[in-house]
Amino acid sequence: MAQHILTSKVAIITGAANGIGLATAFQLSKAGADVALLDFDGKTEERASEIARETGRRVLAVPLDCTNRDHVTSAFRRVREHLGPIDILVNNVGQSARERMTDFTDADLDTLDMLLAVNLKSCILCSHQVAPEMQARRSGKIINITSESAVNGSLRCWDYGAAKAGIIGFTRAIARELAPFGVTVNAIGPGATRTAAIDKMQKGFIDRIIADIPMGRMAEPDDIAHAVAFFASDRAGFITGQTLLVNGGHWML
């Protein structure tokens, strides 16, 4: 976004040290927001410094395990102390089972606890930190990153798909609750996106993924970040409870 349409806003992005989260932090900062990068990755501080140098905005790095309620409470308190009241929350942190992906019939159910915690529980815990203050101010934006896997029945993603589908249900429920107070809550479902995890896959597998995408390429992190920036802006002020798939037409609702 070329215009500073988020000037004076404070945004939190979870899972912000890499990939979609990092691209989102850059985009919101370029749009004028002061941003907090929440991640347990050791590079978070370095990434925050890069964004601050490039955009001139205030940028705060906060190490955080988003599945731990006490850590989340402490981290959000720190953001308020350093940047001020929170206007925008982007619940981006999450992951698939990756090398532990299995058919459901062969499942190690221990993986399920981790995926529900990282993807769904983290979204709920972080949203609970900002919803009361947004409701009281009668303004605010919550953007939850789900996945195309929540709607398309991706093979070997039964656990990840279930967690991400939970995010869609949660988004709709709190969107309805907070709408009378002027707070919008929306979800974005990326399709295959070129991140570090994708880059580790074999070229033949990546080629097969791309072959199924009508636009002939994977998403770049910036493709998702631009959608987040739209939902975070007043241009999306009358949109709430929606799930936007950003996937090059691979799956169409």
pLDDT at 1 over 60: no
What is the rounded distance in angstroms from the CA atom of residue 183 to the CA atom of residue 197? 33
pLDDT of residue 103: 83
Residues with Cβ < 8 Å from 233, sequence gap 6 or more?
Answer: 1, 5, 6, 31
DSSP state letter for 34: E
What do you get for the CA distance between the two ends of the chain, in Å?
27
Active-site residue among 26, 76, 158, 160? 160
Q: Which of helix, strand or coil describes residue 3?
A: coil
Nearest residue to 89 (alpha-carbon basis) of 183, 194, 216, 209: 183
pLDDT in tens, 6-22: 999 999 999 999 999 99
* 160 in active site: yes
DSSP state letter for 184: E
pLDDT in tens, 218-228: 999 999 999 99
Per-residue pLDDT, averaged over 41-61, amounts to 96
pLDDT in tens, 83-130: 999 999 999 998 875 767 788 888 788 889 999 999 999 999 999 999
Concatenated DSSP letters of 41-88: STTHHHHHHHHHHHH-S-EEEEE--TT-HHHHHHHHHHHHHHH-S--E
CA dihedral over 170, 176, 180, 185, signed as positive or negative: positive
In CATH, 10-245 is 3.40.50.300: no
- Is residue 222 within 8 Å of residue 166, measured between CB atoms? no
The model's pTM is 0.95
pLDDT of residue 208: 86
Q: How confident is the model at residue 2 (pLDDT cuts 50, 70, 90)?
A: very low
Angle at 247 between CA 244 and CA 248, to 5 degrees: 120
Q: How confident is the model at residue 141 (pLDDT cuts 50, 70, 90)?
A: very high
- Is residue 129 within 8 Å of residue 76, measured between CB atoms? yes
